[in-house]
Structure 1
Amino acid sequence: MEIAANAALVVIDVQKGFEEEEFWGRRNNPGAERNMAALIDAWQGSGRPVVFVRHESAAGSRSPLRRGHTGHDFKDFVEERRGRGQDRGRELLVTKSVNSAFYGEPDLDAWLKGAGIEQIVLVGIQTNMCNETTARMAGNLGYRVLFVLDAMHTFDLAGPFGWTATADELSRATAVSLEGGGFARVVTAQEVLEAAGR
């Protein structure tokens, strides 16, 4: 695996609202945050660009990610790391209200293209929602996408016809769909850290 010198780490929706288990249900991958933090540190240490994405649900909604609610804030380990790349113009904050980070403000695609970035590394929350949607769109836009499966998590989910899927089942389905469909390469945090350090 090769990590470009200007590959962007895109950190999606790592917000306190996702800690409200009564709203979301059972999650998977308890080590996700540790891997996210290690990747942010590696990216900032190498001078590579980091994009922090925040989901902003409407103020009147029940979502823990709504504006004005404490769940809208980034988790502490992310907030502590924000700002380290700004002096080099290597950090961006994107705010969105839909699944894809490419439909936010400022325009992520324009920022990446303006910086000549062709490879992105995705981490964050949730695996099968905003992360998968962003990866699919990135693939369609021509980016080389690394999807770091153990640096993200999701929640058990109920769907139609009485069907349910666990967080692990949803993560596996996402991984198979993305890599099998040619949208992204699914990798581990350790693989990325090793490649980024070469």
Structure 2
Amino acid sequence: MDDGYASDSTALLVVDPYNDFLSEGGKLWPRAKAVAEQVGLLDHMRQVLAATRSRGIRTLFVPHRRTAPGDYDGWAFPSPSQAATRGARIFEAGSWGGEFHPDFQPLDGELRVQEHWSASGFANTDLDLLLKQHRIAKIVLIGMRANTCIDTTARFAQELGYHVTLVRDAIAAFRPAEMTATFEVNAPTYAHAVVTADEFTEALPPAGTAS
């Protein structure tokens, strides 16, 4: 595993930490709950976020589009996921479900990327620009959902030349098969490291160490 997570060139991407995904009462939580609890998703997300913050590693929040009236009207080719999101008003703008989980709120100086319309945090957003302007070479991904936004954002990152780390127990999905597809089939073809939260935090320099 690569252990060179220098604070001046590494960023943590917190992908789609919405209440609809992560909180009891969220529209998608019933589908995510079994896998999330099996891997200890929320505790491991908290662990990774606290560890990177304590080392001065930059945090970027990478949110999905919050559904609003008129979204996808007249689109030629909305994806099945987009059609489902529209119908169920997932991550609805102005709703509790469309807010971030209370444990994953941006602090002053942390960046909220433009919302992505589909699965890639890079497509049609300012994520690549923000990473390059902050001289980031390595990204670490946590959040939801393994086989959609995590997988696609990570693949896109590798295509753009970034070093990619997935923290496998700080990421969840709706079914075990989706986790297998991401971490056992797909990630070995593009990710530079697939680690647990413990392995990642152990690879960081001591808290308070400048790098």
What's the TM-score bracket when you normalise by the shorter of the two chains? 0.7 to 0.9
Percentage identity across aligned positions? 32
| Amino acid in structure 2 at the alignment position of 1:11 | V
Kindly report structure 1 stretches of 4+ aligned residues shifted beyond 6 Å. none
1:75 aligns with 2:101: yes
TM-score by length of 1: 0.82
Distance 2:26 2:93 in 1: 19
Distance 1:179 1:16 in 2: 26
Distance 1:189 1:41 in 2: 11
Q: What are the superposed Cα offsets for residues 46-96 of structure 1, whole Å, 9 maximum, x if unpaired?
A: 1110001221243132232121221110001112xx214x1xxxx210122
More strand by share: 1
Residue matched to 1:195: 203
| Amino acid in structure 1 at the alignment position of 2:152 | T
Aligned residues: 179
2:165–2:191 Cα contact (<8 Å) kept: no
| Amino acid in structure 1 at the alignment position of 2:36 | N
Distance 2:145 2:192 in 1: 16
Residue matched to 2:148: 129
2:45–2:143 Cα contact (<8 Å) kept: yes
Residue matched to 1:138: 157
Q: What are the superposed Cα offsets for residues 108-159 of structure 1, whole Å, 9 maximum, x if unpaired?
A: 111111111110000001111101110110011111100111001111xxxx
2:166–2:191 Cα contact (<8 Å) kept: no
Q: What are the superposed Cα offsets for residues 153-198 of structure 1, whole Å, 9 maximum, x if unpaired?
A: 111xxxxxxxxxxx11210111123333134421111111000135
**Mapping for residues 16-95 of structure 1, pairs under 5 Å:** 16-18=19-21, 19=23, 20=25, 23=28, 25-27=30-32, 28-30=35-37, 31-60=40-69, 61=86, 62-79=88-105, 82-84=106-108, 86=109, 91-94=110-113, 95=115
Q: Which runs of 5+ in 1 are unaligned?
A: 156-166
Q: Which runs of 5+ in 2 are unaligned?
A: 70-85, 207-211
Distance 1:83 1:76 in 2: 12
TM-score by length of 2: 0.78
Distance change in 2, residues 1:119/1:22 (3 Å): closer
2:20–2:29 Cα contact (<8 Å) kept: no
2:19–2:100 Cα contact (<8 Å) kept: yes
1:99–1:133 Cα contact (<8 Å) kept: yes
Distance 1:5 1:97 in 2: 30
| Amino acid in structure 2 at the alignment position of 1:5 | S
Q: Secondary structure in 1 aligned to 2:200?
A: helix
Residue matched to 1:180: 188
